[in-house]
């Protein structure tokens, strides 16, 4: 069975600094997608960044970047120049490339950005 593990229940960072959220996953598949989703207090889940497993290059989206280590099954999210609006729950998620839209989510990391 596929699993996604986020070992940091809570993290805190000073505004304008950099923070890294960790995620590991377990799968026997070779083709899959990995995601980081953000869930602010308003509850709507928003896609932050997506990584295709067949791509060696790490995905980046403005201040957000990932460190994808396929062999280690690790997928961490780096947030640079943290902003107060980054305060939210962050979920790591996985889906198979040939599946429907069934996402497997981790338990989440609560990030607090301090002013």
Question: Phi, psi at residue 71, to the nearest 5°?
Answer: -65, -40
Q: Are 65 and 59 in contact (CB under 8 A)?
A: yes
- CB 83 → other proteins: shortest distance, Å? 22
Nearer to other proteins, 14 or 30 (CB): 30
Segment contacting other proteins by CB under 8 A, of 53-61, 62-70, 73-81, 101-109: 101-109
62 binds other proteins (CB under 8 A): no
- 3-state class of 42 per DSSP? coil
43 binds other proteins (CB under 8 A): yes
Instruction: Tell me how far apart the alpha carbons of residues 103 and 92 are, in angstroms, rounded to a whole number.
Output: 10
For β-strands 46-52 and 60-61, DSSP reports them as unpaired
**Applying CB under 8 A, which residues contact other proteins?**
4, 6, 33, 42-47, 50, 91, 93, 95-108
């Amino acid at each position: 069975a596929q699993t996604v593990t986020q070992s940091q229940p809570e993290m805190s960072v000073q505004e304008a600094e950099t923070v890294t959220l960790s995620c590991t996953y377990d799968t026997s598949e070779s083709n899959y997608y990995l995601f980081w989703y953000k869930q602010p207090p308003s509850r709507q889940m928003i896609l932050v960044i997506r990584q295709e497993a067949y791509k060696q290059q790490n995905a980046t989206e403005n201040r957000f970047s990932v460190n994808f280590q396929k062999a280690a099954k690790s997928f961490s999210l780096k947030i640079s120049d943290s902003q107060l609006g980054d305060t939210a729950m962050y979920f790591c998620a996985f889906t198979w490339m040939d599946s429907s839209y069934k996402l497997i989510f981790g338990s989440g990391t609560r990030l607090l950005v301090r002013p």
